[in-house]
Amino acid sequence: MRHALYAMPVIQNMVVRIPIEDWIDLHTFSPKEIPSLLEEYLLECQKKGFKEVRIIHGKGKGVQMNIVHSFLSKSPLVESFELAPPEAGSWGATIAVLNEMKSKPEK
């Protein structure tokens, strides 16, 4: 009996729509995707008026956490950040406080 092998087509550069909530789980994203993802996510959160967001990066070896913290420390969108309290994920998540969105100057 022969078995046919079927492969799912690989779609590159596919746009993934993520609902904007006050938290994001990065487990399904590769480390190289995190900076650009966070840039877009935090900008959208700021537009929605969120003051604080929870970024779930997982505990593991700390690779994702280091990428997240490095990004947050340089981002003009972020006022401050710290590891989440135990009830919100402990060292597997980071709480970021966002700067208020600057309004566009009137003409």
Over the stretch 16-57, which tens digit does the pLDDT of each residue have? 676 789 999 999 999 999 999 999 999 999 999 999 999 999
Q: Does residue 10 register a pLDDT over 80?
A: no
What is the model's pLDDT at position 103?
65
Q: Does residue 84 register a pLDDT over 70?
A: yes
What is the model's pLDDT at position 21?
92
Please give the Cα distance from 77 to 99 (Å, whole number).
5
What is the model's pLDDT at position 3?
43
Q: Does residue 11 register a pLDDT over 60?
A: no
Please give the Cα distance from 16 to 31 (Å, whole number).
16
What is the model's pLDDT at position 81?
98
Q: Which CATH number fits domain 23-98: 2.60.40.1190, 3.40.250.10, 3.30.1370.110, 2.40.30.10?
A: 3.30.1370.110
Q: Packing angle between helix 63-74 and helix 34-47, nearest 10 degrees?
A: 50
